[in-house]
Structure 1
Amino acid sequence: MAGSLLRRVLDLVELLAAHARGLPLQTIADTLHIPKSGAHRLLAELVAYRYVAQDVESGRYLLTTKFATLGLKHLSNSGVVDIAQSVLNRLADLSGELARLAIVDYPRLVWVAKAQGARSGLRYDGDMGSEVRLATTATGLAWLASLPDEEAAELALRQGFSPPEACGPNAPRTLPALLALVAETRARGYAWVHETNAAGTAAMAANIVHPGTGRAIGNLSIAGPSQRLTEAHRDALAPELLAAAGTLSSVRALSEYLAALSGGALAQRQ
């Protein structure tokens, strides 16, 4: 019973995290397939501890910043952002585009830090803390390319393909099309996408690997408007991106922490 209750609380938190403006009680109960009274009890507990608030006017329930604060505090204490920030800053300055760090929190890939290199004109930016779309981003393709095809396909299908209106015109629509991009990424040594995640954007990404296991534990990416981040620009930046990923791969404190995030779930698969 305790495990079931905990699962319901976590499902509730994850649901609200996906709806920044909150949800009404009935919608929460229906989505989680629990009685309205049960949903209300869970929400009342979370409200009491100030993890959830209820909007007075609409009656909607939404997460407070307390969860975000905990996450940021955890990342700060882990040292991940501090270690990677100087590398991100250098990539952003060299490219004049957005540089980001994603970490593997198996079976998810999450963006946790960034540096913006664009000082004027068009700027591409992204939300930190959001789960990476595996099938359409360079970040996602880089990670999938580090895995066996069967595992890569399983992770991609678990997340699902984005609907056409939510991604770029070149986004893969089928598993064979995605695996073809994964194969291209392996052959190239880093990921490159053009208008797959969003129209008018391009990106490239290289994996951070654990020095002991060789398993990808995160990656670095550069993203920007496709009119600036051209193939010629990509080719000039690739050595710098790969070198930066190699630098972070060699940092013991970073690799040990990131390996721990992905290692627990991997053990469960075996």
Structure 2
Amino acid sequence: MSNILIERCFDTIDLLATEAKSLRLEDIVERLDLPKGAVRRFLSVLCLIGWLDQDSQTGFYRLTLRLAVLGQRFLSATKTPDICQFIVNRLAQDSQELVRVATVHEDGLAWIAYAQGAKAGLIYEPETTAEVPLQVTADGKAWLATLTTGAAVKAVLKNGFGHPDSHGPNAVPAMEAILGELEVIRKQGWALAVEEAERGVISIAAAIRPNGGSPVGTVSVAGPSLRLGGKRILEISRLISIAADDLAAFWPLRDSSYYCNSVRMIALSSGQATGAKPVADAAL
């Protein structure tokens, strides 16, 4: 198999993972801007080795669960969800809101763990997606603020601004305004998004930076604006900063007695059982 064929196969997998639905051969040809015969050939290869299924009646192509299974297996091997979940659960309990952790993925972020702290009243349940919209979420802005201006601009442009109707009423479409906000975030250490990703939703986030170095991800709290306004934003930002520091302290660790003891210490201090299973997005 040539290098170009391998590249096209992965482009197809990326396309179908992003769409998360079945696509016609013609749709894939149009999206990848490739000859129909070539696309048909590598789709056949992907079906043959079990990455794709083709509907026998419609002819549409879709991903099998192989990608999701490998993603889960990889996350489990890195132990990242194990570390995250104890701290995520604690933050959810303290904030009584939705908590999520995202990890740096290429030129963006992807969700890997979450916990719902709200037990009654309005409960924020976001649409399940793998990738994090950068300029309209607190997670995205917290990560962008750790980058150089040039790198942040590149990441935003690659991520795209999206259609105005797909975001909240306060989404900022201008790059200059976004860069100005990133300067504020760098100074205060946490990011805020008020009805930017979705109407009626506020989120607060901080970057996870082991040893104060390059960010490995973000941790955030999100919930209805009726509960997260005013002084509570500052209260939540303090809790998030503590969680980000805890995650940064243990993130790089792997299988070792020190790692196991560290996770156990976090679990005990959080009142969580050490046998708790991590929650991660299968879309990864």
- The SS at the match of 1:133 is coil
* 1:172–1:178 contact (8 Å) kept in structure 2: yes
* 1:113–1:128 contact (8 Å) kept in structure 2: no
Aligned-CA RMSD value: 1.7
AA aligned opposite 2:36: K
Residue in 1 that maps onto 2:267: none
How far residue 128 of structure 1 moved from its aligned partner, in angstroms, is: 6.0
Q: Provide the aligned length of Structure 1 versus Structure 2.
A: 254
Residue in 2 that maps onto 1:208: 208
Cα 1:119–1:97 change in 2 (3 A) is same
Q: Deviations over 1:157-177 (max 9, x none)?
A: 121212210101111111011
Residue 53 in structure 1 maps to residue 53 in structure 2: yes
Q: Deviations over 1:85-112 (max 9, x none)?
A: 0000011111111111111123121111
How far residue 206 of structure 1 moved from its aligned partner, in angstroms, is: 0.7
Residue 24 in structure 1 maps to residue 24 in structure 2: yes
- 2: distance between equivalents of 1:219 and 1:111? 9
Give the share of equivalent positions with the same residue, in percent: 37
**TM-score, structure 2 normalization:** 0.85
How far residue 123 of structure 1 moved from its aligned partner, in angstroms, is: 2.1
* 1:111–1:130 contact (8 Å) kept in structure 2: yes
AA aligned opposite 1:235: L
Task: Write the mapping of 1:116-265 to structure 2, written as runs, cut at 5 A.
Answer: 116-126=116-126, 130-211=130-211, 214-251=213-250, 253-254=252-253
The structure showing larger relative contact order (alpha-carbon pairs under 8 Å, at least 6 residues apart) is 2
Q: Deviations over 1:109-166 (max 9, x none)?
A: 1111111112233222346661111110000000111112222112111212122101
- The SS at the match of 2:228 is coil
How far residue 58 of structure 1 moved from its aligned partner, in angstroms, is: 2.6
AA aligned opposite 2:184: E
- 2: distance between equivalents of 1:72 and 1:127? 20
Q: Which runs of 5+ in 2 are unaligned?
A: 255-284
Cα 1:178–1:254 change in 2 (3 A) is farther
* 1:111–1:128 contact (8 Å) kept in structure 2: no
Q: Deviations over 1:216-248 (max 9, x none)?
A: 111111111111121322111222110111011
- The SS at the match of 2:226 is coil
Residue in 1 that maps onto 2:93: 93
Q: Which moved more, 1:245-254 or 1:74-83?
A: 245-254
- The SS at the match of 1:240 is helix
AA aligned opposite 1:216: P
- 2: distance between equivalents of 1:8 and 1:145? 33
Residue 103 in structure 1 maps to residue 103 in structure 2: yes
How far residue 56 of structure 1 moved from its aligned partner, in angstroms, is: 3.0
Q: Which runs of 5+ in 1 are unaligned?
A: 256-270
Q: Deviations over 1:36-81 (max 9, x none)?
A: 2221221112112221111233321010111001001110111000
- 2: distance between equivalents of 1:52 and 1:121? 42
How far residue 190 of structure 1 moved from its aligned partner, in angstroms, is: 0.2
